[in-house]
Amino acid sequence: MHIIECHFECTGFDDSLVQAGTSVYLWNLVRQFRDRGHRVTALTAAHGLIPLLRRDHDVVETDWRSTGEITIPVDPDRWPGHPDGVTVDGSARAYRMTVEGIDVVLLSNEILDSHTDTLHPPAGAEGTDPTFLKPLVFQVLAARFLSGQETAQTVVHLHEPVLHHLLPAALSAYGFPVVSTVQTNLPVNTKVYAPQARALLRDLGADPTVVDGLADPPLDSPLHRAMRAFLPQTLLYRDQPQRPGHDYVSALALVARSAEAVDFLSEGQLEHALTQAETPFAQLFAELAVRRELWSRADRLTVGGCAIGDEWLDVARGDERRRRTLTALGLDPALPTVYHNGRYSVEHKGLRELFRGVRRLLDEGERFNLLLHCLAPHPPQDPDLAALAADHPGQVRIRTGPMPPAELMDWATSSDLCVFPAKFEMDTFLMAMGEAMASGAVPVATAQRGMRHFRHSFDLAAPTATGLALPRSFRVADPDLTDAVHDGLARMLALVRAGSPLVDTLRSRAVATAREFTWSRAADRFLAVFAACVAGTWPGGRSGPATLSPTPAPGDDGGTGTAVAGPDGVAVRWAHPEAVRVELVYPGDPVEVIALARQDDGSFAGTGPATAGPVALLVTCRDGRCVWAGAPVAATTG
């Protein structure tokens, strides 16, 4: 086959250019395809990197040209002063280089060469700066580049639906089979401006009606309104109420309608996308168009999977390596060592809770080394991170720039524990956690669905446990997760310090589990999917939605209780056997959230403002599960 990997960000061939794990994922995968004898082309944006790339690679300009202008309709509320849309220069050139036997095509023009440091435009550019439209311009120019090219025995593999929502319909119209990988867990209902999508698809020669019929229902009951007001802070949902001239549709739903297959990185990620189970979003999600579209095309959903790099599959751990690494860092090799590696993304990676949890441990006199790699394009101005480094210089080492794999291996193999308190179900596989586990670091990590394959557990005595699970978190600056990081690390550090045989057992399982995830196995799964799509069939033995209920798992009910109107408002008492928090939620801007107080009998009680309709309650359970309930308000009697 000819496999065209089309992605806005494809820099995994050079560690110094990597901004996120998606690029590492892609480069590992394409090398496997190459090794199996397939022709592979990576199509990406130049991002202004061509002068730098020419230092190490033979970058040549091709004969391909794009000319003319691109007019992009925009939401007038977000782009005031642009009633006719934003017109940008559509002139572009294509450059080609070959890296490790793989052709990399780079599309270049003024907009595609902007934001070289971050690759992506900042959110604040919307409404004023045309370079905010860079991902859209890339989609249009990528479609133009592929238009008219040979489609026989060719498959196009796209990455991240919100970055390629136009391409499946456009490329399908040209005759390409298309596979879309959901690379990260953006809110499943992340939307795109429908008039913009229709116009650009029409310009590309595709059917614009693929955008039709994707509007969500009104969602206007009292409980709906409370959910919609509260949920944006969970990062699971962005509220975009429909109104005249405000026509938005789910990018994932649009892609699911047009792609031959939609791929996920793990079974847990797919399950989360289909159900949002046990999150504060599950009950609202059940009524959205994106859920309907995903379930109606369940036979197109698959798990190609993900893996850790081959270099991590047999990384060696030893006392001498640990002594050499930690001593060179000015640390005491005799102390337990904790490791974290990931992108600097405070909410996604749970960094605020990580920094505060370990800071509290160190302030309390716990003696351990802390190795933090938080990759950022520029040194972050983070007061929690700065205070951690300033107050404990003898035990904390922090790096925020790129680190070569060999150095990361030294850090990981020198560590007893690795900590990954990811939040909002935003990690879909988490390669860095697998790498650390493969190096012998026992995980302390949240029980996110997308990380479930690593088998960390709330019960360390479980026969498959690799490490300690922490409750899922869907809150900004979550004090409960900070406590869980603190308590979980304290528990595990005590076991390490005591020389517990359990730590050796967990470490052995962690290594074995992580090393199951190889790029060779992932490539085999992808190639089966690609071949089936090229042949117009579907491979047998597909895992995924066939194993799930066709409706979201309801979890526990919302509990029981009363809401009684009185002179001071509504007095609420609520009970749920697993609850650690019960809150009243009142819609508004901003949303009003009132935590009920735990009572001696285990129930929760408090008073909220008077309301004519039912009171909305959000119940959070001890393992992080959430469920909504509506309590009818009764009049005071007697």
Polymer length of the chain: 638
DSSP 412: H
- Name the phi and psi angles at 61, rounded to 5: -80, 135
Q: What is the mean pLDDT of each run of 10 residues along the chain (638 residues)?
A: 95 83 87 96 96 95 96 94 94 97 96 95 94 97 95 96 96 96 88 96 97 91 94 89 76 96 94 93 94 92 92 95 98 98 93 98 97 94 95 97 94 98 92 97 96 97 98 92 98 98 98 97 95 81 49 60 93 95 94 96 95 92 91 80
Chain CA centroid to CA 627, Å: 22
DSSP 286: T
pLDDT at residue 545 in the model: 53
SS3 608: strand
Cis status of the peptide bond prior to 590, with omega within 30 of 0: yes
Angstrom CA distances, 562 to 47, 154, 311, 576, 607, stand at: 58, 62, 59, 12, 11
pLDDT at residue 17 in the model: 87
Chain CA centroid to CA 487, Å: 26
Let me know: does 506 contact 496? Beta carbons within 8 Å: no
pTM comes to 0.90
Nearest Cα to 571, choosing from 587, 551, 594? 594
What stretch of H or E contains 26? helix 21-35
Angstrom CA distances, 304 to 107, 473, 517, 522, 529, stand at: 27, 27, 11, 6, 8
As a whole number of Å, the CA-based R_g of the chain is 25
Nearest Cα to 42, choosing from 183, 159, 167? 159
| Structure token digits, residue 601 | 């009998």
Q: How many CB atoms lie within 10 A of CB 509?
A: 20
User: In 515-562, which ranges are continuous DSSP H helix?
Assistant: 519-535
Phi-psi bin for 153: left (phi > 0), alpha (psi -120 to 50), beta?
A: left
Query: ∠69-74-80 over CA atoms, to 5°?
Result: 110
What stretch of H or E contains 53? helix 50-53
- DSSP letter string, 156-194: EEEE-HHHHTTHHHHHHHHT--EEEEE-S---TT-EEEH
Q: How many CB atoms lie within 10 A of CB 24?
A: 20
DSSP 246: B
- Name the phi and psi angles at 546, rounded to 5: -60, -20
| Structure token digits, residue 235 | 């990062």
pLDDT at residue 87 in the model: 96
Query: ∠491-625-238 over CA atoms, to 5°?
Result: 120
Let me know: does 134 contact 127? Beta carbons within 8 Å: no
Angstrom CA distances, 397 to 16, 105, 291, 320, 328, stand at: 20, 39, 44, 20, 11
